[in-house]
Structure 1
Amino acid sequence: MDSQRSFLVIALAIVSFFLWQEWQKDYGPKPIAAPTTAEQAQSVTPGSSTTDSNGDIRLTGDDAPSQVTETATPSAQLVTVATDVLNVEIDTSRGDIVGLTLPEYELTKGSELPYVLMRKLPGFEYTAQSGLIGADGPDDQTNSRQPYQFAQQQYQLADGSDELVVPLVTNFNGLQIEKRFIFSRGKYDVRVEYSIVNESDVSKRIQPYQHLVQNIDNGESSSMMMPIYRGAAYGSNEDRYEKYDFDDMAKNNLAINSTGGWVAMLEHYFVAAWVPDQTQPQRLYSMVSGAKGVIGSRSEVIELQPGESTVVGSTFYAGPKQQDKLAVLADGLDLTVDYGFLFFISQPLFWLLTTIQGFVVNWGLAIILITVLVKGIMYPLTKIQYESMAKMRNLKPKIEELQARYKDDRQKMGPAMMELYRKEKVNPMGGCLPMLVQMPIFLALYWVFVESVELRHAPFMLWITDLSAKDPWYILPVLFGLSMFAMQKLTPMQVTDPLQQKIMMWMPVAFSVFFIWFPSGLVLYWFVSNLISLAQMLYIYKGMEKKGLHTKKA
């Protein structure tokens, strides 16, 4: 197979994939409309959910009646917490996280404003809710309660301190409850614990839950140039990582029993996740309420006898998709850095990229060096590919002679061709197989550059100040097109179809325009890859000419 034809097929396949994604987004199946508030009230069943008078989505416990009565919650206040990596707002009505920013990450390049991950505004909500439901749970819709009490309204991690505990307390129907948020220096994971004492003279039944709530449509979407997933995901003891987007929620509620597991809401570089006790049975669930999607988990019912106490808790993570930190929290949570089905290749490549960056302290240089390294490792396959194509090119007259001799007898032509290949020691698939081995590696490296939060706002040099943004002067796309044109000239075109010839001739221009919207880090990778390919082709062709093999069209 000729290299130009192979490149054309692969390029068209990639472009077709992106176009298919765009078509699915615009014209694909639409989600089933969410039920109205009235419909939801009619379908509330034990262990389901409802929306309270503040607009918050709440679960009803396993022992709760099928019909619930909304009760107004007294107005509450916000407790603010500041650490070195998190700024959090906690609503004291139920102890929910209703605001969260990341001071280590800018909202936009050069804005000096922190990245806003979670917030609750009129018409939009992205919050982390948790509580205690069940027959005696204070967060059950059948129960009215007072907001949590707090010692101070502002908390800040002190210099020299590695931990900050924010306690909220309440007493409900004989249950003394302290909800603790435990923050740690340099960490995006927060331990959320409940210390519960049954001070009554009867047994109490409660059930911990935690879930994430987000408006389904927030105006953000992926594009053909940058396919980005925004939606929910979960992990269980059967499936380490599964996406469950808002369309899935609208069609079917997630309902999975698992020992441990986790639930999350994803966006391009950041993730919010609840990780319950990994040793205890959990119920993973999802729902749609109006314009909001929910994914969460709840534990089994806990029964406390009079005078008995217990401590239950879970871990809440909100921050960048840093694989090493996520992997420690739960099995499969690091897969939210979604490399697709090539993750087993992408993860070692990411480790290699970060290792290189640790030495050169520049992500642009790290991209160049890992491209050089990967292309160098793939050189033996590249050499086999071009030598095989050269041998096939030299056999072309003999092949055409056989085709003319047996043009009316296909059954004899096949064996004759195979005998010719055997006699000349040529593998007709020798030019294709190396390419099939190389493509997964280069595609895996592509997804490393797309998904890695480390490249967000990372500068390179000169006019490239953000490797995750497009080239502001379009210089890299133009250089890429010129390198692609040089490769075409070095590898003479073998296709004879006039239409294919025209397509091949205009491909450098088309790809230059196509790459204008790509992140500059990706374009840098492809440009450097082309330069290395040019050098390898010149070296390989020179060696083949010394062996008497033609490298140009006869």
Structure 2
Amino acid sequence: MDDQSKNLILATALSFVVILVWFFLFPPPTPPEPTGDAVTTEQAESGAPGTPASPGSGTAPELSASPAVSRAEALGETQRIEIRTPRLGGSLSLRGGRIDDLDLLDYRETIAKDSPDVTLLTPAGVPNSYYAVYGWSPAGGLPASAVPGPGTDWSVEGNDVLTETTPVTLVWDNGQGLVFRREIAIDQNYMFSITQTVQNNTGAEVRLAPYGIIARHGTPPDLMNFYILHEGVIGAHDGELTELDYDNVMEMPTDAAEGGAALQKVDVQNNGWIGFTDHYWMATLIPPPGQPFTAVAKYTAATDTFQTDVRLPAVAVAPGQTASTTTSLFAGAKEWAAIRDYQREMNIDRFVDSIDWGWFFFLTKPIFWLLHQLNVLIGNMGLAIIGLTFFIKALLFPLAYKSYVSMSKMKALQPEMEKLKERVGDDRAKMQQEMMALYKREKVNPAAGCLPILLQIPIFFSLYKVIFVTLELRHAPFFGWIQDLSAPDPSSVLNLFGLLPWAAPDPTSVLAILSIGIWPILLGISMWLQQKLNPAPTDKTQAMIFNWMPWVFMFMLGTFASGLVIYWVANNTITFVQQYLIMRSQGIKPDIFGNMFGFLKKKPKKAG
């Protein structure tokens, strides 16, 4: 076997290893598991009337379990108040006054026209139930039966439909001189306002503490478990952002006073919030700025319940007096503009950071901001990505110009390099020494071409992060067959891009690596064209590996979001044009296609 054949086998093996490693590090998103009646679970909250609160001041009740039922059955078990806004649909349960049925009317599960709306909150008793509960904890010797709990049946006072202009008020009289009211309001987006009031007609002072709970039974069925994305508990506590994966919550120290639940408490003095975040959706409890409270993340293994609490200090209510407290609940889509406005207008500390910007936040935030502005201006997120590419290339052009000039000089030195190689033979040390002398004599810096590439790496990963985590890319169409820029190119070379009568492989299978679409193929071609402008390595093995790299990356990026592939194709195309024109201005005439079929040429026979 000759050296060239060995090098070819080595390059092929290395390329295959790189593809497998990349597929392991950046697997395609796992499709959501089916939810609803077909899924069974043993965990759900019972909500029986008179559920006792945990003892002590400033605590919250323990949520219990009951057999699971279907969603329709759970909704029919309790009296309800309809939620009706342009962006939200659903209902409130009068059992416990829970916010437990919420649909996001602007978002669908898939891009199919008949796809159902995204459901965010689900009532207790249903598999993977997810809901918000409010109430009062007894303090100062007040019996648990004197306060409303998760199972209390409330009455409606006034409006019986919750809209953005008509709040609803729930009322409950404990029959012992305490009257509780709960006013629930909603704005035009996703922010609920909950005002809890207690009127003391007992003739004696009472002490009690308001709380809010978001409960989640079991981990979400569509949990991605992808290290680049945080899903789980999220909160901000006096300027510090806290992120806890579900595994982290389960592994927290247990607290005997809380029934042996895994628990983390943080005393917040001035500004904070806590809740659960998913890939694109979020539910968080938000006390007003300046209100001290205790933020709690909790897991109860017996009921497989994750819980976040906001526990406010106990208040003393004198006879004949009324006490009230107002907190907010965000339950909706993580839209950057809406969350930013809430942060500004309501002074919610670090609320924008509920979007997972990652380690390169100093790049991801401005990149997303510019992408958002371009999308508003153009009206097409795919074109906005291409516009962003032009902006980045223009920003880096001064460095790129110096790099391309240096590459042009190195390209011009290729004949000299070949002569050097013939003269020194296989003496690599001598070859390296002669090359350095040649670069110094011709004033060429071989490292100058690396700088734009090094700068592109954090930009590339930041854009990958933006496209992967931000809601604005979800289901965003481009043109033709690209109807979701956050998903891989759905076309496949394995069925000739839809011409053959079989479907492409499942995107989660290893075979999906080979099932590349049109845009990944364009990526490979654009990388190959760009590479032909660069000086070839003198080492045969290095040169062969470099020749393989465009096609390796074509497969590696084939399963990535199509928005990212479109950016890379645009970036390569602009880079090729820039470099080609600069090389021409330096007197170099690149022969792009001259050696395309060089491997077919017959080699001259060796003498003898």
Pairwise same-fold verdict (TM > 0.5): yes
* Deviation (angstroms), 1:539: 1.7
1:201 corresponds to which residue? 203
* Deviation (angstroms), 1:209: 1.7
* Deviation (angstroms), 1:85: 0.9
* Deviation (angstroms), 1:306: 1.4
Change (3 A) 1:502 1:118: farther
Mapping 1:140-179, distance limit 5 Å:
146-151=152-157, 154-155=160-161, 157=163, 163-172=165-174, 173-179=176-182
Contact 1:270 1:320 in 2 (8 A): yes
**TM-score under structure 1 normalisation?**
0.78
1:62 corresponds to which residue? 56
Contact 1:273 1:316 in 2 (8 A): yes
Q: Mean Cα displacement is larger for which, 75-84 or 425-434? A: 425-434
Q: Using the alignment, how far apart are the partners of 2:444 and 2:50 within structure 1?
A: 70
Change (3 A) 1:517 1:222: farther
Q: Using the alignment, how far apart are the partners of 2:64 and 2:481 within structure 1?
A: 57
2:326 corresponds to which residue? 313
**TM-score under structure 2 normalisation?**
0.72
Mapping 1:97-116, distance limit 5 Å:
97-109=99-111, 110-116=113-119
Q: Give the unaligned 5+ runs of structure 1.
A: 1-8, 26-36, 38-49
Q: Using the alignment, how far apart are the partners of 2:486 and 2:358 within structure 1?
A: 19
* Deviation (angstroms), 1:340: 0.5
RMSD, aligned α-carbons: 4.3
SS of 1:208's equivalent in the other structure is strand
Change (3 A) 1:333 1:168: same
Deviations 1:341-376 (A, max 9, x none): 222222222222222222221112111111112112
Change (3 A) 1:55 1:197: closer
1:382 corresponds to which residue? 400
* Deviation (angstroms), 1:515: 3.2
1:19 to 15, 24, 29: 24
SS of 1:93's equivalent in the other structure is coil
2:488 to 458, 463, 470: 470
Q: Using the alignment, how far apart are the partners of 2:89 and 2:409 within structure 1?
A: 64
Contact 2:54 2:61 in 1 (8 A): no
Deviations 1:173-222 (A, max 9, x none): 432211111112x2211111112222221222221222322234333243
SS of 2:532's equivalent in the other structure is helix
SS of 1:334's equivalent in the other structure is helix
1:448 corresponds to which residue? 466
Structure 1 letter corresponding to 2:310:
S
1:302 to 306, 310, 315: 315
Q: Using the alignment, how far apart are the partners of 1:57 and 1:435 within structure 2?
A: 62
SS of 1:277's equivalent in the other structure is coil
Change (3 A) 1:256 1:15: farther
Q: Does 1:272 align with 2:272?
A: no
Structure 1 letter corresponding to 2:331:
A
Contact 2:171 2:181 in 1 (8 A): yes
Mapping 1:238-277, distance limit 5 Å:
238-239=239-240, 241-252=241-252, 253-258=263-268, 259-277=270-288
Change (3 A) 1:68 1:286: closer
1:3 corresponds to which residue? none
Contact 1:88 1:97 in 2 (8 A): no
* Deviation (angstroms), 1:463: 1.9
Q: Mean Cα displacement is larger for which, 477-486 or 148-157? A: 148-157
Contact 2:272 2:289 in 1 (8 A): yes
Change (3 A) 1:218 1:15: same
* Deviation (angstroms), 1:238: 3.6
* Deviation (angstroms), 1:248: 1.0
Contact 2:204 2:319 in 1 (8 A): yes
Structure 2 letter corresponding to 1:181:
I
Contact 2:407 2:534 in 1 (8 A): no
Structure 1 letter corresponding to 2:464:
Y
SS of 2:476's equivalent in the other structure is coil
Change (3 A) 1:313 1:235: same
* Deviation (angstroms), 1:261: 0.5
Q: Mean Cα displacement is larger for which, 132-141 or 267-276? A: 132-141
Q: Using the alignment, how far apart are the partners of 1:311 and 1:93 within structure 2?
A: 21
2:298 to 276, 287, 294: 287
Contact 1:216 1:246 in 2 (8 A): no
1:537 corresponds to which residue? 579
Q: Using the alignment, how far apart are the partners of 2:212 and 2:400 within structure 1?
A: 52
Structure 2 letter corresponding to 1:317:
F
2:122 to 115, 119, 122: 119
Q: Using the alignment, how far apart are the partners of 2:64 and 2:222 within structure 1?
A: 33
2:450 corresponds to which residue? 432
1:521 corresponds to which residue? 563
Contact 1:51 1:58 in 2 (8 A): no
Change (3 A) 1:542 1:211: farther
Contact 2:234 2:243 in 1 (8 A): yes
1:230 corresponds to which residue? 231
Q: How many residues align?
A: 504
Deviations 1:471-528 (A, max 9, x none): 2222212221221222233334316263x55544443333333333322222211211
Q: Using the alignment, how far apart are the partners of 2:389 and 2:200 within structure 1?
A: 62
* Deviation (angstroms), 1:424: 5.9
Q: Using the alignment, how far apart are the partners of 1:54 and 1:545 within structure 2?
A: 84
Q: Using the alignment, how far apart are the partners of 1:375 and 1:58 within structure 2?
A: 63
Q: Does 1:323 align with 2:326?
A: no
Deviations 1:223-279 (A, max 9, x none): 77x95432121111141x231111110111322111220112112222211111221
Q: Using the alignment, how far apart are the partners of 2:538 and 2:141 within structure 1?
A: 73
Q: Using the alignment, how far apart are the partners of 1:421 and 1:510 within structure 2?
A: 31
Structure 1 letter corresponding to 2:531:
Q
2:87 to 70, 76, 85: 85
Contact 1:77 1:92 in 2 (8 A): yes
Q: Give the unaligned 5+ runs of structure 2.
A: 1-13, 31-41, 67-76, 253-262, 492-516, 596-608
Mapping 1:358-507, distance limit 5 Å:
358-391=376-409, 394=413, 427=445, 429-473=447-491, 474-494=517-537, 496=539, 498=541, 500-507=542-549
Change (3 A) 1:203 1:88: farther
Deviations 1:371-425 (A, max 9, x none): 11211221222222333445567498699999x99969x9xx8xx97x9977765
Contact 2:488 2:558 in 1 (8 A): yes
Give the fraction of aligned pairs with identical amino acids, expressed as a percent.
27
Q: Does 1:180 align with 2:222?
A: no
Q: Using the alignment, how far apart are the partners of 1:379 and 1:301 within structure 2?
A: 61
Q: Using the alignment, how far apart are the partners of 2:358 and 2:230 within structure 1?
A: 11
Q: Using the alignment, how far apart are the partners of 2:63 and 2:145 within structure 1?
A: 7
Q: Using the alignment, how far apart are the partners of 2:135 and 2:52 within structure 1?
A: 9
1:135 to 130, 139, 142: 139
Q: Using the alignment, how far apart are the partners of 1:96 and 1:76 within structure 2?
A: 11
* Deviation (angstroms), 1:541: 1.9
Deviations 1:321-356 (A, max 9, x none): 122322324121111221212222222222222222
Q: Using the alignment, how far apart are the partners of 1:223 and 1:385 within structure 2?
A: 40
* Deviation (angstroms), 1:61: 4.6
Q: Using the alignment, how far apart are the partners of 2:49 and 2:179 within structure 1?
A: 27
Q: Using the alignment, how far apart are the partners of 2:59 and 2:375 within structure 1?
A: 58
Contact 2:142 2:207 in 1 (8 A): no
Structure 1 letter corresponding to 2:529:
A
Structure 1 letter corresponding to 2:534:
T
Deviations 1:3-61 (A, max 9, x none): xxxxxx9x999985773577xx9xxxxxxxxxxx9xxxxxxxxxxxx976659998625
